[in-house]
């Protein structure tokens, strides 16, 4: 079955970081994982040390693994549920966000030590 990585970049509304993190981890990720085809998720916060100089517009990253034979339908289901009782969106989530789906073109490569 084809596998994909769904990358989502987001920020909390100013002053709402705790509410945003609680919602994202405890409500949003389980809701997304209820969409057929979504198999795992992991969240990240921007590290203090970066190669490039600021500004860094996105402070949070979520990576979802998708396994599906019908990516269009999987993403359509995600869109249909977004903002409904099946996938409540928090007021602590800033409206500006970016999302992309990637498909692998190589197998994972590990460092040789």
Q: List pLDDT tens digits, range 15-54.
A: 999 999 999 999 999 999 999 999 999 999 999 999 999 9
Domains of the chain from N-terminus onward: 3-102 (3.30.70.100)
Q: What is the mean pLDDT of residues 55-72?
A: 97
Q: Which residues of 92-109 are buried (b: 16+ CB within 10 A; e: fewer)?
A: bbbeeeeeeeeeeeeeee
Mean pLDDT value of segment 83-110: 97
Handedness of CA 34, 29, 57, 55 (dihedral sign): negative
- Cβ atoms 80, 31 nearer than 8 A: no
Residue 52, classified by CB atoms within 10 Å of its CB into exposed (0-12), middle (13-18) or buried (19+), is exposed
Q: How confident is the model at residue 12 (pLDDT cuts 50, 70, 90)?
A: very high
Q: Look at residue 63 in the predicted model and tell me its pLDDT.
A: 98
pTM score over 0.85: yes
């Amino acid at each position: 079955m084809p596998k994909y990585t769904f990358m989502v970049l987001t920020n909390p509304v100013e002053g709402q970081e705790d509410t945003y993190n609680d919602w994202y981890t405890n409500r949003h990720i389980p809701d997304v994982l209820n969409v057929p085809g979504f198999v795992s998720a992991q969240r990240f916060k921007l590290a203090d040390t970066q190669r490039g100089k600021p500004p860094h517009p996105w402070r949070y990253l979520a990576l979802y693994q998708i396994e599906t034979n019908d990516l269009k339908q999987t993403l359509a289901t995600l869109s249909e549920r977004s903002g409904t009782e099946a996938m409540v969106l928090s007021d602590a989530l800033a409206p500006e966000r970016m999302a992309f789906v990637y498909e692998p073109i190589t197998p994972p490569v590990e460092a040789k030590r």
